[in-house]
Amino acid sequence: MDIKLGFGTVPKAQYVFVSREGDACWYSLSEDGKQVPIYEKALTGVITGIECNKSVETQYGSTYKTDLAILAPTPCIIRSGNSSYFSKSLLLSLDALTVEQLRNPLTIAVSPGEKTVVFCSIYDPATYRVVDFSWGGHKEIDLQALEQRVSAKIETIASQTQTAQVSTSKNTEIRAMMMAQIDKYLAQLNWTPEMGRKYLQQNYAKTSRRQLNDAELLDFTFRVIEMAGVQTALSIAS
C-alpha cells in the first residue's frame, strides 16, 4: 500500500454500519456524527480480522455486534448486529470458504430483504462467483459455534501472516549482514565491480548479488571469505 506524505486525513479505520435506510443498505458517519448513506452495493478488499459478539454502548444502551475488518484499500470495519440476518449470512459465507480462499480479496455485497432486513453475499471478484452456503435452518444454527469456527480461521490467517512478516524481516536482516561481509572481503581482494559481475556470471549465471537466492548468496559469501583468507595467507608467507 502506497503511503501518501504530507497533510491528510487521520489514518484510522472507517466504520461502515449495516442498516437499511431507503435505497441504501449501509452507511458511514460524518465527523459531526450524521449518517452518510452508501449506495454502492459491494465492498471489495482483504479480510484482516473479525470480532464477534462484541459489546458496544449505543444511544439505546448496550448491544452486541459483529465487526469485520477489511482492507479496501484503506482499513474499514463493517459493523452489524451479531444476530442480524446480515451477520448470519456473512458468517455462513465465511464458514463455507477455505483458509486459502480467505487470504484472497473478497467482495462483500449487501442486498435488501423485507422491511429493514439486509442480507450479505460474498463473491470471488476474480471469477464473479458467489459463495454458496445453506440458509435453511438458519434460525436453529448454533451461532456461538459458527462464530468460533470463523474467528479461528481468520485468526489462523492473521497469525501466519505475522509469522511470515517476521521471517521475511529476519531474512532481509541476514542477507544485509552477508552483503556487508562480502563487501568487506571483496575490498581485501581488490575486486572491481566488473570482476564481481564476471564471477557471478561464471558461477551462478547472475549479474548481481541481489539476484542470488539465499543458498547462492551464502555460498558466494563463503567463497569470498575463503579467497580472501587464501590471499592473506599467501601475503604472510611471502
Q: Which of the 8 DSSP states describes residue 139?
A: G
Cis (ω within 30 of 0) for the bond into 105? no
Higher pLDDT, 32 or 67: 67
pLDDT in tens, 192-227: 989 989 999 999 999 998 899 988 888 888 888 888
Identify the CA nearest to 106 among candidates 88, 90, 118. 90
Task: Please provide the size of the chain in residues.
Answer: 238
**How confident is the model at residue 231, as a pLDDT?**
64
The answer to whether the Cα torsion of 67, 72, 76, 81 is positive or negative is negative
Residue ranges with strand state E in the chain: 14-21, 24-29, 35-38, 42-58, 61-71, 75-81, 106-112, 118-124, 129-130
First-residue to last-residue Cα distance in the chain: 58
Cα–Cα–Cα angle for 152, 158, 164, nearest 5°? 135
Share of residues in the chain with pLDDT > 70 (%): 92
Amino acid identity for residue 193 in this structure = P
Contact 15, 79 (CB under 8 A): yes
Q: Is the pLDDT of residue 234 over 60?
A: no
Contact 50, 68 (CB under 8 A): yes
pLDDT in tens, 171-198: 888 888 888 888 888 888 899 989 989 9
Please tell me the distance from the alpha carbon of residue 110 to that of residue 102, in angstroms, as a whole number: 19
**How confident is the model at residue 232, as a pLDDT?**
59
Q: Is the pLDDT of residue 168 over 70?
A: yes
Residue 50 confidence class, pLDDT cut points 50, 70, 90:
very high
pLDDT in tens, 65-83: 999 999 988 899 999 999 9
**How confident is the model at residue 139, as a pLDDT?**
78
Cα dihedral angle (87, 88, 93, 95), rounded to 10 degrees? 110
pLDDT in tens, 99-146: 889 999 999 999 998 888 999 999 999 999 999 998 887 778 899 999
**How confident is the model at residue 233, as a pLDDT?**
54
Residue 230 confidence class, pLDDT cut points 50, 70, 90:
low
Please classify residue 93 by burial: count the beta carbons closer than 10 Å to its beta carbon, then call 0-12 exposed, 13-18 middle and 19+ buried: buried
Q: pTM here?
A: 0.68
Identify the CA nearest to 37 among candidates 107, 114, 110. 110
**Strands across the sheet with 61-71, in order?**
35-38, 24-29, 14-21, 75-81, 61-71, 42-58, 106-112, 118-124, 129-130
pLDDT in tens, 12-29: 889 999 998 888 999 999
Helix (H, G, I), strand (E, B) or coil at 125: coil
